[in-house]
Amino acid sequence: MNLPFHKYGSPKYFYSWSLMLSPWLIGFCVLLFAVGLYTGLFVAPADYQQGESFRIIYVHVPAAWMSLFIYVVMASAAASGLIWHVKLGDMIARASAPLGAWFTFLALVTGSLWGKPMWGTYWVWDARLTSELILLFLYLGYIALQGAIDDRRVAARAGAIVALVGTVNLPIIHYSVEWWNTLHQGPTVSKLDAPSIAPSMLMPLLIMAVAYTVYFVVVMFARTRCEILEFERNAAWVKERALEKGVV
């Protein structure tokens, strides 16, 4: 390689290769959602206890997974900016936070809709639900902090500290159903040796999980490119691109 590997993580190169990959990822995402929703809503059999209402898991479970996954991405990216001063890390963290907040909100809302017929109530101060709600507040706190501080570098450092401290909540969310007596059901899919779910129900769930992940990557790429253009607006390569597109 003629260029150092780390150069491909620079804002300029990220902008170029993410823009090149995005159309392919969008097509793959649409295909996954089409297959996942069709097989989950029309092919998978009804649950013998929950009936047709179980199908909300194809929205709820991947959203809950993504709420944790995106926080890991956000915290890792923010840490790279805080520790190694990687500008792109700060941008990815800023771009990921609103997406993580929306996925967490979706997980809480769909969980409540499922909880009403199953538990007889939309909400209980259960360990899993409460820790997931705290995760939403962590996302919102990070977003608010970024908006409250005008200096982007200072905001990035402060946000990184908040994000890293918040990672303590992630194992609590994951293991809450095992550590405490909770209404929320225990792990099913994560028991890789013998998942407590039929393969005909499991496959659409896994497809939807991949679809959610690809969707996150596509939108995160787009949001990060916007962050790059805003932060690097005075850079020569950004001005060159603007001239090529006839923007200026």
We report the CATH number of the domain holding residue 88 as: 1.20.120
Whole-number pLDDT of residue 74: 98
Whole-number pLDDT of residue 66: 98
Model confidence at 6, pLDDT cuts 50, 70, 90, reads low
5 within some domain: no
Average pLDDT of 17-40?
97
Place of tokens 């792109």: 88
Whole-number pLDDT of residue 46: 86
- Residue pair 132/67 in contact (Cβ under 8 Å)? The answer is yes
HEC letters along the chain: CCCCHHHHHCHHHHHHHHHHHHHHHHHHHHHHHHHHHHHHHHHCCCECCCEHHHHHHHHHHHHHHHHHHHHHHHHHHHHHHHHHCCHHHHHHHHHHHHHHHHHHHHHHHHHHHHHHHHHCCCCCCCHHHHHHHHHHHHHHHHHHHHHHCCCHHHHHHHHHHHHHHHCCHHHHHHHHHHHCCCCCCCCCCCCCCCCCCCHHHHHHHHHHHHHHHHHHHHHHHHHHHHHHHHHCCCCHHHHHHHHHHCCC
What tokens appear for 193 in the block?
Answer: 């040796």
1 within some domain: no
2 within some domain: no
9 within some domain: no
pLDDT greater than 60 at residue 225: yes
* Phi, psi (rounded to 5 degrees) for 84: -105, 5
Q: What percent of the chain has pLDDT over 70?
A: 88
> The domain containing residue 214 runs over which residues?
22-245
Whole-number pLDDT of residue 239: 80
Average pLDDT of 223-235?
90
168 within some domain: yes
Model confidence at 193, pLDDT cuts 50, 70, 90, reads low
47 within some domain: yes
Whole-number pLDDT of residue 171: 94
Average pLDDT of 13-23?
94
Amino acid in the structure at residue 211 = A
pLDDT greater than 90 at residue 8: no
The rounded distance, in Å, linking the Cα atoms of 163 and 92 is 13
Mean pLDDT of the chain: 88
Q: How many domains does the chain have?
A: 1
Q: Which of 59-68, 100-109, 114-123, 204-213 has the least mean pLDDT?
A: 114-123
Model confidence at 180, pLDDT cuts 50, 70, 90, reads low
pLDDT greater than 50 at residue 1: no
Rg of the chain on CA atoms, in Å: 20
Helical packing angle, 87-119 and 57-84, nearest 10°: 150
pLDDT greater than 70 at residue 119: yes
Whole-number pLDDT of residue 243: 73
Place of tokens 């028991």: 191
Whole-number pLDDT of residue 194: 55
7 within some domain: no
Place of tokens 């393969």: 199
pTM exceeds 0.85, yes or no? yes
232 within some domain: yes
